[in-house]
Amino acid sequence: MNSPEFKSAYEKARRGLVQQSMNQLQQAAAKAVEVMIEIMNDKATAPSARLAAAKSVLEYSVQTTQIEELNKQVRELEFLIKYEREIK
């Protein structure tokens, strides 16, 4: 069990399971957003539930925008680092 081949196979399998779980969560996230929007727009739903859904939609929207901006900045920094290394 301590062989390099076993460790490599184990890590590969573990990464595969983690990736599969992440894919499932991303697919479920789309449905969760649909549910939040339905609750938010349903006049028959309690106002507190509608408010909670609206807050969640807004919070996730802001977080998504922030993550996109951070990803853009990281890509720009990676480009600059690569460029700096190439000109030296």
Average pLDDT over residues 73-82: 95
Nearest alpha carbon to residue 39 among 24, 25, 56:
56
Q: What is the pLDDT of residues 15-66, one digit of tens each?
A: 999 899 988 988 888 888 899 899 999 999 999 999 999 999 899 889 989 9
pLDDT of residue 68: 92
Q: What is the tally of structural domains in the chain?
A: 1
| pTM (2 d.p.) | 0.56
pLDDT of residue 1: 65
pLDDT of residue 30: 86
Angle between helix axes 47-87 and 4-41 (nearest 10 degrees) is 140
- Give the domain range for residue 71: 4-87
